Amino acid sequence: ETAVFQTPNYHVTQVGNEVSFNCKQTLGHDTMYWYKQDSKKLLKIMFSYNNKQLIVNETVPRRFSPQSSDKAHLNLRIKSVEPEDSAVYLCASRVYAEQFFGPGTRLTVL
Amino acid sequence: GDSVTQTEGQVALSEEDFLTIHCNYSASGYPTLFWYVQYPGEGPQLLFRASRDKEKGSSRGFEATYDKGTTSFHLRKASVQESDSAVYYCALRVDSNYQLIWGSGTKLIIKP
């Protein structure tokens, strides 16, 4: 049963454009995450958001920014995409030690 | 720093073969260990976890035993099926903020 929803499923864009990805969880969890999954399936955490506290992975370029309207939503904006941003972006929410993931948004940068 | 090592990037087996995916960790303190599975087109989902030495986690025919002595949490299944084709991640948590440290993932391919 899907409880973490992501839109869009796929997005193709050109270098320099701005993109936004949406994530909504219906589990009532307080903590949400954004991950980047590269073509080799490596998972890298980008942001975590808990009770309005944002924790940023220091390796994340500044063109990436999370946006949250409430604890059920955590969107991701990329200001000016680069070719190396092509990846699958996964949103997750957490309760205690378990993380629940959405199906991901696949970004292709031409 | 804390880390998780999965030595196999890809494993190819036939149906009914025995599966082992190796996971070794390095951590200060006493970590909780996890196995997650990611099916094609989906996000990872928790398979099971273990938090004490010699504790066995299991689900869907998969199992792993927490071994503090060898710092390992190897995933095993006696007889794999085509539906087990997926990417498997080992992960650990060592601190109270519940951040996970992920292994590099192992892609399991089952030939029918």
The reported pLDDT for the residue numbered A80 is: 96
CB contact (8 A) between residue B43 and residue A4: yes
> Which token pair is A24?
């909504």
Residue B98 has pLDDT above 80, yes or no: no
pLDDT, tens digit (0-9, with 9 covering 90-100), for B31-59: 999 999 999 999 999 999 999 999 999 99
Best mutation target, B98, B106, B107, B108, to test chain A (most A CBs within 10 A): B98
Residue A1 has pLDDT above 70, yes or no: no
The reported pLDDT for the residue numbered B96 is: 67
| Contact criterion met (CB below 8 Å) for A72 and A22 | no
The reported pLDDT for the residue numbered A2 is: 62
- Residues of chain A with Cβ-Cβ distance to B89 below 8 Å are 43
Torsion of CA A86, A91, A92, A93, to 10 degrees: 150
pLDDT, tens digit (0-9, with 9 covering 90-100), for A12-65: 999 999 999 999 999 988 899 999 999 999 999 999 998 778 888 878 999 999
| Contact criterion met (CB below 8 Å) for B98 and A31 | yes
Mean pLDDT for chain B overall: 95
Rounded to the nearest angstrom, the gap between the alpha carbon of residue B52 and the centroid of all alpha carbons in its chain is 16
Cα angle: A96, vertex B108, A105; to 5 degrees:
60
Q: How many helices (H) and strands (E) does chain B have?
A: 0, 12
